[in-house]
A and B are shown apart, each in its own frame.
Chain A
């Protein structure tokens, strides 16, 4: 995808709210047809970035273009080419699925015939064809999000901006949602989605990992993982807390985390440390079923690049 023209360029984008720097000199580009994720916890600056790219909030510094339009000088032009689905998309709960779609189609000036065709296609892809007469207020969380997406897509945008589209959505609906996004990307639509679920970011083409308004990392998930220094090791054991205590002061250890049925640790060198871990556990007479190197998660990357807080009590 390296040759495709950029659908979104962001350069030095900054937004302040009083003394808080919500978005701090952000810089990245998104290629046409790419699915790009803004990933980070609450307060990372995802929504603020999204709003600036949608042309509904002016940046304090820096620039950005979306579908070739400058978000400051030509914010109206931006709006013609994008669809923006904010966290709380304005569905009318007392209107039916069909009526909501008709409302957004009218808003975007879509002809009746086009609307019918498009609605049928979108609702089928969302697995909602049977629910066209149901009131939006009576849909499950996952279905509401899919209806919001259908409304946002009724006018075939070139760039789709989705702010936390899958928050509160269960994993099955989340997979449906991603399937739709990949269908759109295949048609050449560029998708910029934000998420606070770090595991969800594994699904996108490329991601920008944000923390407190700043860009920590930006690349394809697989490349970021391959570049992470050190190795993540998973120990499966019936007494995780005892395992933690036994491994706590091991040489080469940079992080140690108790999970439900074992511990996860980050060490400098798997080859050297794996046998040492097993030895320690045996010496302490602690049972374990597995000590293996595993792929780092996006969360591991986040923690490794932010580092431990000073005086952390973990």
Chain B
């Protein structure tokens, strides 16, 4: 990682479709070897940003450099530097594993000389040794997913884009997949992940939270958990549930209350006063209280608070 660190530089990026501003003055950069996650609700502008980074869409204004190349001036060269793996891996089910690799190799312009060694690498990486000639349709999800990854990186791209890469995959295959991604990143590949699965987000080195075209938070998962939230999160046991929910939502210092099984997760402005006052408040309303204890925040809490709060504030110019 001694050469210039920034693999992707985005400065003041704006994209408008007619009167609709899909991307609104977004700036960030990503280093070589970084795994950067894009989180946001549907329609937040995640895929527009990614399409611009891939050189598939022209920005309205702003500056975007990918692997040292300007995407507006040199979109074709940019595309040679990137790999893309979509949510529904675009593999051909009626072709074998090797045939799929050959097809994508051709598509990405991998030379015949390189292909043999890359093929070997992809087969080993995806754990498909012995199954090279199996039809893709007969492979289990985890293999398909690793094969799709192999196809996407056969041409050794410097930037890799993943769109909800492990949705619906069993947790063991998912963990293997992320291990591969981290090993790939360690060789200097920059990885972009677009998702609204919070458990995928946990695997990213840094997260960019996008809402209505704007970047509303950027940081490591633990930074976001620490700094995004003004207050903290409490586990509250209180019955009966229905009345307790209504009471908690109206309690002073409470930002949000959600039922989790037989208890609540309550977002509060400040932990200490809430620990002191909530038991009294709930008891005064005839509710039976059990434990009230602070618990660590999840990324989902960050997401809901950040996006919810921004939405409540209305569309404010950046």
Contact between A314 and B179, CB atoms less than 8 A apart: yes
Interface pick from A4-12, A112-120, A147-155, A201-209: A201-209
Contact between B182 and A313, CB atoms less than 8 A apart: no
Contact between B175 and A172, CB atoms less than 8 A apart: no
Which of B42, B171, B245: most chain A CB closer than 10 A?
A: B171
Tally inter-chain residue pairs, CB-CB below 8 A: 141
- For the complex, what is the distance from the CA of A284 to the CA of B141, rounded to whole Å? 38
- For the complex, what is the distance from the CA of A308 to the CA of B199, rounded to whole Å? 19
- For the complex, what is the distance from the CA of A96 to the CA of B308, rounded to whole Å? 27
| Chain B contacts for A170, CB-based, 8 A | 40-42, 196, 307
Contact between A258 and B182, CB atoms less than 8 A apart: yes
* B3 adjacent to chain A (CB < 8 Å): no
- The residue on B at minimum CB distance from A241 is B186
Contact between B221 and A260, CB atoms less than 8 A apart: yes
CB distance from B182 to the nearest CB of A (A): 5
Contact between B168 and A182, CB atoms less than 8 A apart: no
Would you give the 0/1 interface string for A247-284, flagging 1 where the beta carbon is closer than 8 Å to chain B?
Answer: 00000000001111110000000000000000000000
Q: Which of A141, A172, A240, A302 contacts B182 (CB 8 A)?
A: A240
Interface pick from A75-83, A97-105, A192-200: A192-200
* B106 adjacent to chain A (CB < 8 Å): no
CB distance from A232 to the nearest CB of B (A): 12
* A186 adjacent to chain B (CB < 8 Å): yes
Contact between A41 and B298, CB atoms less than 8 A apart: no
- For the complex, what is the distance from the CA of A171 to the CA of B170, rounded to whole Å? 21
Interface residues of B in 127-170 (CB under 8 A from A): 127, 140-141, 167-170
* A211 adjacent to chain B (CB < 8 Å): yes
Interface pick from B96-104, B111-119, B200-208: B200-208
Chain A interface mostly: mixed
Q: Which of A202, A258, A299 contacts B261 (CB 8 A)?
A: A202
- For the complex, what is the distance from the CA of A5 to the CA of B186, rounded to whole Å? 55
Would you give the 0/1 interface string for B243-259, flagging 1 where the beta carbon is closer than 8 Å to chain A?
Answer: 00100000000000011
Contact between A175 and B141, CB atoms less than 8 A apart: no
Contact between A302 and B203, CB atoms less than 8 A apart: no
Q: Which of A259, A289, A308 contacts B203 (CB 8 A)?
A: A259
Task: Given A257-B175, A313-B176, verify A140-B220 contact (CB < 8 Å).
Answer: no
Task: Please tell me the number of chain B residues within 8 Å of chain A, measured between CB atoms.
Answer: 55
Q: Which of A40, A140, A221 contacts B42 (CB 8 A)?
A: A140
Q: Which of A41, A206, A260, A309 contacts B204 (CB 8 A)?
A: A260
Task: Please tell me the number of chain A residues within 8 Å of chain B, measured between CB atoms.
Answer: 55
Contact between B241 and A41, CB atoms less than 8 A apart: no
Contact between A202 and B220, CB atoms less than 8 A apart: no
Q: Which of B40, B168, B205 contacts A196 (CB 8 A)?
A: B168
* A179 adjacent to chain B (CB < 8 Å): yes
- For the complex, what is the distance from the CA of A271 to the CA of B95, rounded to whole Å? 52
- For the complex, what is the distance from the CA of A222 to the CA of B262, rounded to whole Å? 9
Would you give the 0/1 interface string for B198-242, flagging 1 where the beta carbon is closer than 8 Å to chain A?
Answer: 110111111100000000000011110000000000000000011
- The residue on B at minimum CB distance from A309 is B172
Task: Given A140-B42, A260-B35, verify A299-B182 contact (CB < 8 Å).
Answer: no
Task: Pull 24 A–B residue pairs with CB atoms less than 8 Å apart, ordered by A.
Answer: A41-B168, A41-B171, A42-B170, A43-B140, A170-B41, A171-B198, A172-B304, A172-B307, A172-B308, A173-B41, A179-B259, A182-B245, A183-B242, A198-B171, A199-B198, A203-B260, A240-B182, A260-B35, A261-B205, A297-B199, A303-B171, A303-B175, A309-B172, A313-B127
- A residues contacting B by CB (< 8 A) are 40-44, 140-142, 168, 170-173, 175, 178-179, 182-183, 186, 196-199, 202-206, 211, 220-222, 236, 240-241, 257-262, 289-290, 294-295, 297, 299, 302-303, 306, 308-309, 312-314
